[in-house]
Each structure stands twice: as C-alpha cells, then as structure tokens.
Amino acid sequence: MTAGMGRSQNRVRSRAIGALAVAASWSVVFAGVAQPAAAADVQSKQWYLGAMQAEEMWKTSTGEGIKVAVIDTGVNPNTPSLKGQVLKGFDATGAPGDENDDYAGHGTDMAELIAGTGAGGGVKGLAPGAKIIPMRISDTEFQNENSVKAGDSEDAIEAAIESDAQIISMSFGSDFTSDRERAAVKSAHKKGKIFFAAVGNNAKEGNREQYPAAYPEVVGVASADRNGKVAKYSQNGGIVDIAAPGQEIPGWCNKSFQSYCDGDGGTSSATAIASASAALVWSANPDWTANQVLNVLFDTAGRDWEKGTLSKYLGHGLIRPAMNILKGKGDPGDPDISPLTEERTNGSPASPAPSTPSASASQQPTRNEKADEAVAAGDGRAASDDGAPVSLILGGIAVVAVLGGVVFAVVRRRGSA
C-alpha cells in the first residue's frame, strides 16, 4: 500500500468473501475455478429458499417498504434481477465510476440475494419486495489499482445512516478498528438502524475479530450449510450473533455479469440473507422498532440450548424468519431496549433484567459454554419448540449445528482464475 493510496498499511481491508474456500464440485478442486451455471438454472441452486419456505412467506411479506443499504463493491442495477430494485446511493471510494459500477461483482451478488426479483432466470432475493441503496467502498485489490479516499468505509456507514435505509448490510471486514468507524456504528444503532456484518472466513487462519461485525451494536453473521453445519472457515467467538445460509450459494462469476457460478458465498452471503430475513419480518410488522425485529429474529432462531444464551459458533442460532411470518412466534420485547447492548437506543442503560430461563428476549444474553462444546464436538443441533429436529425454518432438512462441514481444497480470490 503506498501513501498515495490514502490508507496506512495497517488499515488494509479485504472482502469477507475475498479469500474464501470453494468446493462446489470435484472440477473446482482440480481446476481451481468455479463452473458456470446457466442463468435459467441458477434459482434451482438456491436451496435455502425452499428450506426457509420463502414461497410461503412471500404470500405475507416480500420486504415491501424496506430499504437496505448495501456497503460493498458497488451494485450493478442493470442485471435482469435488479432492474427497478436499486435506488440512488453513494460512492465513497473517490475512484473513477460511481456506486453503480461494481468493480468485482460482489456487491451485486449481495444485492440480488437480498432483493433480486429473479427476472431473466437470475438469482431471486429472499426479500424481493425490498429496495437496495448501494454504498461503494474499496477492497484491497481495488486500493492497489486505484487512488481511493481514506476512510471510505466510515464515509459509507455515515451515508447509510443519513439515508432512508432501515437496514445496513456490510459483507466486508477488517482486522482493524477506528474511532470514527466505532462512532458511526454507535450512531446507526441509536438512530434505529439494524446493522448486519460478516464475521469473516478465516477461522483457521487466526480467527481474528473482524470489524464492523465485532462492534457490540452490529449483528455479526456466521455461515451455515444446507444441513445447518457451521462452515469450517466461518469465524467464531463473541463476534457471532446469528447464523444464516452461506454455503453453496451461486453468484456472478465476475464483474462482466455474463454468467453465474457455483461456489460458496461464505459469511458475505450469510450476511445478505440475514439482512433479507430482517426485511421480511420488518415489512410484516411495520410498526416495530429495530430492537423488536432483532428480538424476534434472536428469539426464533433454531437452537437446542437455553434461550437467552449464545454459542460462539452460531450466536443465538440459525435464522428462521418464517417462525414469525408464518407462525406468529417471537417475543418483540421492549421497543426501546437493544437486544445487542441492553441499552436504550438513546444510549441510556436499561433496567436490569432477571437472570432466569424465562427472561424476556430483550435480556442481555450470556455465552453458553456447554452449547459451544456440543457444537465443537459435532453433536449440537437446532431444535423445534418441542425438541424435534427442524430445518432452517420449519421442516424438511434436519439442522445440525456442527463446527466443520466440508473440508475445502481450493482457496482463491473471487474473480481470479
């Protein structure tokens, strides 16, 4: 990193999906590249839509009325699935182009996972009625190739706060924090935004906390597969608040937007799907505050340990928006108290909550060491209210909360050969 890039060397940031293990097929293992998926067939590979009962949820809620700020590599508004879905955003990079010039394809992937309509056989978003507000920032590769503004991440978060977005989705992460970023995140929280961020894909390469996911006011999202297994690469610890589908998620092969590829979206895709889940619940309950939406998502997450405690691998558990939308379950709790910080959203401390199993969903959770041991050993599982195994939302695919999953043989940067 040169001084002309406007960023010090200890502030290097990489996309959460940047160095990601990929094992979509044996051909990937041997050739080192993901194989193109026909656009007409890509929706059949979105396995989580069926597992989460998306079609049933869409009869009640599509995310209409909800806007999601996507802080990423930019969003191409001209893919068939995103036409009419992308609003005016903000380019924080200062480099050539604007927020609609996606230099990597990653931000467009995230936008489609959230609000894609599926037109033209493209990826269909979990919340196709929501709208996207793109906020472009730079990743390490882009910084190396362009002169970019210092503090673009902070600029983008501040722009998202001032926008009409109710939800902020950021599939980026950094090992380093800054006072300005911390202040921006606190401001988003106080202003009633829900902020989701990827916990990162480097569990086996140091497992260092990633920012902004590690801030108390941000929902850190881990990655799970179709069986509910925690991805081996998904970072863990106090940073994790919830888990969402992240493996075997198709996306654009590169920034040319000519074809989709099989592969793993990692905690990046999991963050987008968690953001879309919040959009569905908030759209179905438009009078709720951000705190209440989060309370319900945490309350209804799939797990087999005591409610109100957290696993360092899964947080509150596997996200299940249909438990609220289709079954009306979930305690929204106090509208003014954050389930993340146990503070009122104006920053004042909340009254102490009783430390009992029956405490409300707004009680500050504690870490569940027993659950973590079970997950690490491979015998933890999410369960329905009556103790029976469940899918990611109601039925079909058994959910097993297991650390590990597939052993990945190929490591590559997205968009490289």
* DSSP secondary structure string for all residues of 34-52: PPEE-GGGGGGG-HHHHHT
Instruction: Give me the pLDDT at residue 28, please.
Output: 26
CA distances from 199 to 16, 81, 343 (A): 8, 27, 23
Q: If we measure between CA atoms, which residue out of 354, 343, 410 comes closest to residue 189?
A: 343
Instruction: Give me the pLDDT at residue 357, please.
Output: 31
Any idea how long the chain is?
417
Indicate the residue type of 110: M
* Helices (runs of H) and strands (runs of E) counted in the chain: 11, 18
Active site residue 299: no
Mean pLDDT, residues 171-195 taken together: 96
Residue 91 in contact with residue 98, Cβ under 8 Å?
yes
User: Between these two residues, 305 and 96, which has the higher pLDDT value?
Assistant: 96
Instruction: Give me the pLDDT at residue 414, please.
Output: 25
Mean pLDDT, residues 86-90 taken together: 98
Distance CA 357, CA 340 (A): 18
Residue 400 in contact with residue 228, Cβ under 8 Å?
yes
pLDDT over 60 (residue 325): yes
Express as a percent the part of the chain with pLDDT over 90: 70
Active site residue 8: no
Distance CA 145, CA 101 (A): 15
CATH class of 3-351+365-413: alpha beta
pTM assigned to the model: 0.81
Distance CA 52, CA 370 (A): 27
pLDDT over 90 (residue 50): yes
DSSP state letter for 110: H
Q: If we measure between CA atoms, which residue out of 332, 326, 246 comes closest to residue 297?
A: 332
Catalytic residue among 72, 139, 241, 372: 72
Instruction: Give me the pLDDT at residue 369, please.
Output: 53
Instruction: Give me the pLDDT at residue 381, please.
Output: 40
pLDDT over 60 (residue 99): yes
Instruction: Give me the pLDDT at residue 375, please.
Output: 46
Span of 19-23, 86-90, 271-275, 365-369 with lowest mean pLDDT: 19-23
Instruction: Give me the pLDDT at residue 39, please.
Output: 53
Helices (H), 86-178: 106-115, 140-145, 152-162
Catalytic residue among 61, 101, 106, 241: 106
75 half-sphere exposure, CB direction, 13 A CA radius: 33
For 220-239, write each residue's pLDDT tens digit: 999 999 988 899 999 999 99
Span of 60-74, 147-161, 297-311 with lowest mean pLDDT: 297-311
Active site residue 268: yes
Catalytic residue among 268, 277, 283, 391: 268
Distance CA 147, CA 170 (A): 22
Distance CA 328, CA 29 (A): 44
For 337-389, write each residue's pLDDT tens digit: 999 999 998 654 544 443 333 333 333 455 555 455 444 433 334 333 322 23
pLDDT over 90 (residue 16): no
Q: Where are the domains of the chain?
A: 3-351+365-413
Which parts of 200-357 are beta strand (E)? 219-224, 230-231, 242-245, 251-252, 260-261, 309-310
pLDDT over 80 (residue 321): yes
Across all residues in the chain, what is the average pLDDT?
80
pLDDT over 50 (residue 312): yes
Distance CA 143, CA 269 (A): 23
Instruction: Give me the pLDDT at residue 308, please.
Output: 81
Q: Which two tokens stand for residue 319?
A: 């996200």
CA distances from 388 to 166, 209, 324, 368 (A): 35, 34, 18, 21
Instruction: Give me the pLDDT at residue 37, please.
Output: 58
pLDDT over 90 (residue 405): no
pLDDT over 60 (residue 300): yes
Distance CA 257, CA 276 (A): 22
For 243-287, write each residue's pLDDT tens digit: 999 999 999 999 999 999 998 899 999 999 999 999 999 999 999
